[in-house]
Amino acid sequence: MMDRQIRIAPSILSADFADFGREIRAIEDQGADWVHVDVMDGHFVPNLTFGPQAVKAFRRHVTTVMDVHLMIAPVDPWIAAYAEAGADVLTAHLEAGPHVHRTLQAISAAGMKAGLALNPGTPAEAAAPLLDVADMVCVMTVNPGFGGQGFLDMTPKLRALRAMIGDRPVLIEVDGGVDPANAARLAAAGADVLVAGSAVFRGGSAEAPAAYGRNIRALREAAAGALAPA
Ligand code: DX5
Ligand code: ZN
């Protein structure tokens, strides 16, 4: 477990909404491992972002991994559209409907990696019956809906999930309020993928992207420090 590779996934929720193509190219040039795309429906969460047509347009600019986080309910009627849009990973919330096991199977059947997101109020144990049909568990460290919120410490949940997953090929992603001050703790507790919106985009722009690079490196170095052999 000590050689776990940490992936940094900037959330374009913090990008310039009038310039997604350039913003995506900028974060990838500056070292992003994945591109995290937050889809909100104004119903499951109290905010609205974009839908499959926009996500399909983002795809043309993504050369790494397009990680699509659905904060929508219901999910199932939209799975085909996000496959068509080119999502590599499609994450649905456990809380979004009564049949999340079916949803995860449908995401896999549509040719994408299936992610399962857990709100802060949902215990790790709720994911136990789903770990054989998920490729990733996304632990929310804010209540979903907005970027720039305060970090909620879910370290015990991360440790519990890491233990429950065992040697299954299931990644753990952490999403919300991630910054260089908590990245080490998250990596040590079992995170593989760190999503960060404000902590990546602050201080930079598509015209002046060097700050994105510094911010990504700061996260990566903080996380790697926690995994380095003593
Ligand atoms: C929250 C989103 C997150 C968010 C992260 O609902 O799922 O991906 O954009 O933004 P920060 O890092 O600013 O909390
Ligand atoms: Zn997200």
Contact 28, 212 (CB under 8 A): no
* Domain 7-227, CATH class in plain words: alpha beta
Q: How far apart are the first and last CA of the chain?
A: 13
Report CA(17)–ligand 2 centroid distance (Å): 16
Q: Where are the domains of the chain?
A: 7-227
Residue 93 buriedness (CB in 10 A; 0-12 / 13-18 / 19+) = buried
Positions marked catalytic: 38, 175
How does pLDDT run across 52-79, given as a tens digit for each residue?
A: 999 999 999 999 999 999 999 999 999 9
How does pLDDT run across 154-204, given as a tens digit for each residue?
A: 999 999 999 999 999 999 999 999 999 999 999 999 999 999 999 999 999
User: CA 160 to CA 105: how far, in whole Å?
Assistant: 23
Predicted confidence at residue 109, as pLDDT, reads 99
pTM over 0.75: yes
Predicted confidence at residue 147, as pLDDT, reads 98
pLDDT band at 230 (very low <50, low <70, confident <90, very high): low
The answer, yes or no, to whether any atom of ligand 1 lies below 6 A from the CB of 93, is: no
Predicted confidence at residue 36, as pLDDT, reads 99
Predicted confidence at residue 46, as pLDDT, reads 98
Specify the ligand 1 atom closest to the Cα of 47: 6
Report CA(65)–ligand 2 centroid distance (Å): 14
Contact 40, 73 (CB under 8 A): no
The answer, yes or no, to whether any atom of ligand 1 lies below 6 A from the CB of 147, is: yes
Tell me 202's DSSP state.
T
How does pLDDT run across 142-157, given as a tens digit for each residue?
A: 999 999 999 999 999 9
